[in-house]
Amino acid sequence: MEDFVLRRVKVRRIEAGPRTEVKDGCLYVDTEGLSRILCEERQILRVDVKLARPGESVRIVPVKDVVEPRCKVSGGRDPFPGVFSDPEVAGEGVTAVLDGVCVITTGKMVNFQEGLVDMTGPGAEFTTFSRKNNVVLAIEPVEGLGKHEHERVVRLAGLRAAAILGEAAREVPWDEETRISRLTLPEQIGSSPDLPRVVYVCQVIAEGLLHDNYIYGLNAQGCLPVWMTPGEVLDGSIVSGNCAAPCHKHSTYHHQNNPIVEDLLKEHGKTLNFLGVLVTPVKTALVEKVRMCTQALKMVRLLAPDGVIISEDGGGNPENDLMLLDRLLEKEGIRTVLVTDEYAGSDGASPGLADSTPEADAVVTNGNGNQRVILPPMAETIGYPECIDRITGGHAGSLRPDGSVDMEIAGIMGSTNELGLENLMTVAM
């Protein structure tokens, strides 16, 4: 089988222009044309397209999702298979990426668990999105939409905008090319027979109540664990419809750039044999947690790995899934590492996780969502600043009269991301 190829076009600047194209490292965006196309959706009343650049005095709130613009050059038609097209298999052919660009969706609040991005100041240190050239979609739906329909409309608008912008990467020279081998499982196991075999279990929240991810366009609530190649994960097969706490939710961007997958690929054939990814839904009811974890155990057993890495998605309730699967794997003699974050109180002295098990003796944490921060006023706010008092991490009075913000980093998009994409990290003491 041929390798899967990601071609990254590095974008250093972003400007409005009469047509959407990349020239000399700058993405020019036809903002009016993009708005017009998105408003063809009859449930959208208006879309204001704004540009937010690194270092600008801009605050974006409430943020719903973040998506990296891409296009399929070959091996498929849709950078998000199953969303706007048939659910073709991802991780095949060539995908072109506008590296350094994000589409951010904002607008009236759908759920209190939406986030904030500051493009400068102390808040910018907690989110990778402050370092991106952002195309921000301020979306106003028609009156009368329920929450679930509102979320769907905004999610699809963000994905559609990312696909439209991604076309600008199709014909221009790329700056960086990543090749990911596509092997059969026997070939994969035989490629490095003397190295420890590793499986990565990527949990994706699927709890309903606006806490959902989509696998090939299907709500993960309707899925059992799904085996994927690394290329599939990085090629748009998973998209976020997740309104969980912004500090640790996986946005679509996080799925597209999963750093655990990327790091395992870098070590494959050197220090370990990376077999692939088991994408495992996280449900609310105990019987469903048992169902998902025992099915995941069954599939891991068949692969006979030496070790497993499990990353959490969300917090609180999902920690039961995290510990249950860890316990099942460790009792089978499979060494397991957990990747999570914490809610340990503002002083860090409280228990950080809602569940634990003695078998969980190797845990990586990506920060404490209860850590407090003061954010200075910004010259411009895109969205609805009054939401700050009601989003996760905020409280009545978080938004001060002068425009500054007193909040927990739980409200900053990606600040304690459980894939480890951000600046916070575990330090062994």
Is residue 428 very low, low, confident or very high in pLDDT (cuts 50, 70, 90)? low
Cβ neighbours around 397 below 10 Å, total: 10
For residue 263, give the amino acid letter: D
Which entry of 102, 243, 293, 387 is annotated as an active-site residue?
243
pLDDT digits (tens, 9 = 90+) for 238-273: 999 988 789 998 999 999 999 999 999 999 999 999
CA distance 223 to 244: 19
Q: pLDDT band for position 18 (50/70/90)?
A: very high
Q: State the average pLDDT over residues 332-361.
A: 90
Q: Is the pLDDT of residue 346 over 90?
A: no
pLDDT higher at 130 or 350? 130
Q: Are 292 and 216 in contact (CB under 8 A)?
A: no
Predicted TM-score (pTM) of the model is 0.96
Tens of pLDDT, residues 40-91: 999 999 999 999 999 999 999 999 999 999 999 999 999 999 999 999 999 9
| pLDDT surpassing 90 at residue 106 | yes
The CA dihedral of 139, 396, 206, 136, to the nearest 10 degrees, is: 30
The mean pLDDT of 108-112, rounded to a whole number, is 82
Instruction: Grade residue 2 by pLDDT with cuts at 50, 70 and 90.
Output: confident
Q: What is the pLDDT of residue 285?
A: 94
Q: What percent of the chain has pLDDT over 90?
A: 84
CA distance 71 to 49: 20
- pLDDT given for residue 426 in this prediction: 64
User: 17-21, 159-163, 226-230, 388-392: lowest mean pLDDT where?
Assistant: 388-392
pLDDT value, residue 424? 76
**Quick check: is 243 catalytic?**
yes
Quote the pLDDT of residue 429. Answer: 63
Q: What is the mean pLDDT of the chain?
A: 94
pLDDT at 351 over 90: no
Confidence of residue 353 (pLDDT cuts 50, 70, 90): confident
117-154 confidence digits (pLDDT tens): 999 999 999 999 999 999 999 999 999 999 899 999 99
Tell me how far the alpha carbon of residue 79 is from its chain's centroid. 15
At residue 189, the pLDDT reads: 87
For residue 112, pLDDT over 80 is answered with no
Q: Look up residue 28 and give its two tokens.
A: 């020019």
Contacts of 69 (CB under 8 A, 6+ apart): 97, 98, 101, 102, 103, 135, 161, 162, 163, 164, 165, 166, 168, 169
Q: What are phi and psi of 146, to 5 degrees?
A: -75, 170
Give 164-217 pLDDT, tens digit per residue: 999 999 999 999 999 999 888 898 888 899 999 999 999 999 998 789 999 999
